[in-house]
Amino acid sequence: MTSPDLSFMAPARDVSDWRMVLLVAAATDTGVLGALPGRPAELAGRLGLDEHAVMVILEALAQFGVVEADADGTFAAGPSAPGTDAAATLYHHARSLRQWAQALDGRLRGEPVESRGSQHEPERWIDSLAVHGRHSAPTSIEACLSRLPATKTVLDLGGGHGEYALELARRGLTVTMQDRPVMIDIAHRRGVLEAAGIELFAGDFFETVAPGPFDMVFCSGVTNTFGGERNLDLYKRVRSRLAPDGWLVIQTSMRDRQPASALFGVQMLVVGNGGDAHPEHLYRQWLAEAGYGSTDAIDVEDGRRTLLFAAVA
């Protein structure tokens, strides 16, 4: 299994079978896949699960090659068993499927949804986002530094998994990563970012932003989560932390630039924070209202994401 093909953001004709996604998620969450090899009765007894249900799930997974059984009925990992990155991507995909199933009807009726976001299983959430981050960070950061070669100090705002911060640090920059306390606590515990010389700052960025000044504030996967009013507030807060010749760089999927962003917009709809795959003209409008000067946009990842550069006026 290769992770990019398993994402819920895969092109419509290439998306993974929803049945396989949910089966893998259930078998992972209950420990079945991690306990292989074994017969259904053995696995159920070891894990405290229903034997019949374990058998049904394993036989279904065998249809997708995720597991395979030998002649005596012992199941083991099959040729399509997910590795660590693939499993993390499937977790995110399954989580999105459940959110869509639970919330879409209500959202169409204008009903609010409870926004759980990364508060639900934050470590697994971080790991699932890190898969894409590791893939995209070298290209995205190279594009940023090619456009802004004088950059020395960077704030990775809402950096979560830390892959962009790590890539910036590898290139010799002074890096601070800010996220909510629960995310920073995980980063402290894991120790990878601090070992790379990255300063960690815990705080809700709608209340405080790490003190600068910074040559660049890099913001990936954050502003699409919120609506215009909150984004405008955030851009104003960030601007006060930028050096006089600093830049805010937003990485996101835009409805008018990436075809698959329409699916991303659905995910933002069911999250319930007012976010969307906002079109480019709205980003430019909010940035202008927040006091930024020139803006420039380039596509990265073969056109799957956009980097929007906004200069301090």
Domain count, the chain: 2
Question: In the predicted model, what is the mean pLDDT of the chain?
Answer: 91
Residues 55, 150, single domain; the answer is: no
Which DSSP state fits 15? P
Residues 186, 259, single domain; the answer is: yes
- CATH number, domain of 166, equals 3.40.50.150
Task: Evaluate whether residue 66 is within a structural domain.
Answer: yes
Q: Quick one: average pLDDT of 164-168? A: 97
Burial class of residue 111, CB neighbours in 10 A (0-12, 13-18, 19+): exposed
Residues 130, 236, single domain; the answer is: yes
**pLDDT, tens digit, 9 for 90 and up, residues 55-76:** 999 999 999 999 999 999 999 9
The pLDDT score that the predictor gives to residue 4 is: 42
Measured CA distances, 181 to 20, 143, 156, 202 (Å): 34, 29, 15, 5
Where helices occur in the chain by DSSP H, the ranges are 18-29, 32-35, 40-47, 51-63, 84-108, 122-147, 163-170, 181-190, 192-195, 228-239, 261-271, 280-289
**pLDDT, tens digit, 9 for 90 and up, residues 257-297:** 887 788 888 888 988 788 899 999 999 999 999 999 999 99
- Which amino acid is located at 116 in the chain? R
Residues 302, 157, single domain; the answer is: yes
pLDDT category of residue 124 using cuts at 50, 70 and 90? confident
Q: 177: phi > 0 → left, psi -120 to 50 → alpha, else beta; which? A: beta
Residues 61, 145, single domain; the answer is: no
pLDDT at 313 over 50: yes
Residues 183, 83, single domain; the answer is: no
Structural domain including 17 reads 3-87
The pLDDT score that the predictor gives to residue 175 is: 98
Residue 220 to residue 37: CA distance in whole angstroms? 40
Burial class of residue 189, CB neighbours in 10 A (0-12, 13-18, 19+): exposed
The pLDDT score that the predictor gives to residue 15 is: 77
Q: Quick one: average pLDDT of 4-31? A: 81
**pLDDT, tens digit, 9 for 90 and up, residues 39-56:** 999 999 999 999 999 999
**pLDDT, tens digit, 9 for 90 and up, residues 90-111:** 888 898 899 899 999 999 998 8
SS3 for 260?
coil
The pLDDT score that the predictor gives to residue 13 is: 72
Task: Evaluate whether residue 239 is within a structural domain.
Answer: yes
Residues 182, 305, single domain; the answer is: yes
Residues 53, 141, single domain; the answer is: no
| Percent of the chain with pLDDT strictly greater than 70 | 94
| Percent of the chain with pLDDT strictly greater than 90 | 70
Q: Which of 60, 87, 114 represents a domain boundary (last residue)?
A: 87
pLDDT at 123 over 90: no
Q: CA 123 from chain center: how many Å?
A: 12
**pLDDT, tens digit, 9 for 90 and up, residues 298-309:** 999 887 889 999
pLDDT at 3 over 80: no
Residues 198, 307, single domain; the answer is: yes
Residues 158, 276, single domain; the answer is: yes
Phi/psi of residue 256, each to 5°? -95, 5
- 214-220 and 292-300 strand pairing: unpaired
Ranking 110-114, 206-210, 267-271 by mean pLDDT, the lowest is 110-114
Residue 308 to residue 201: CA distance in whole angstroms? 24
Residues 238, 163, single domain; the answer is: yes
The pLDDT score that the predictor gives to residue 274 is: 85
User: In 10 A of CB 181, how many CB atoms?
Assistant: 11
What is this structure's pTM?
A: 0.87
Task: Evaluate whether residue 286 is within a structural domain.
Answer: yes
The pLDDT score that the predictor gives to residue 9 is: 64
The pLDDT score that the predictor gives to residue 2 is: 41
Among all chains, which residue has been given the structure tokens 């879409």?
104
Task: Evaluate whether residue 117 is within a structural domain.
Answer: no
Residue 298 to residue 163: CA distance in whole angstroms? 21
Residues 127, 265, single domain; the answer is: yes
Q: Quick one: average pLDDT of 236-262? A: 92
The pLDDT score that the predictor gives to residue 113 is: 78
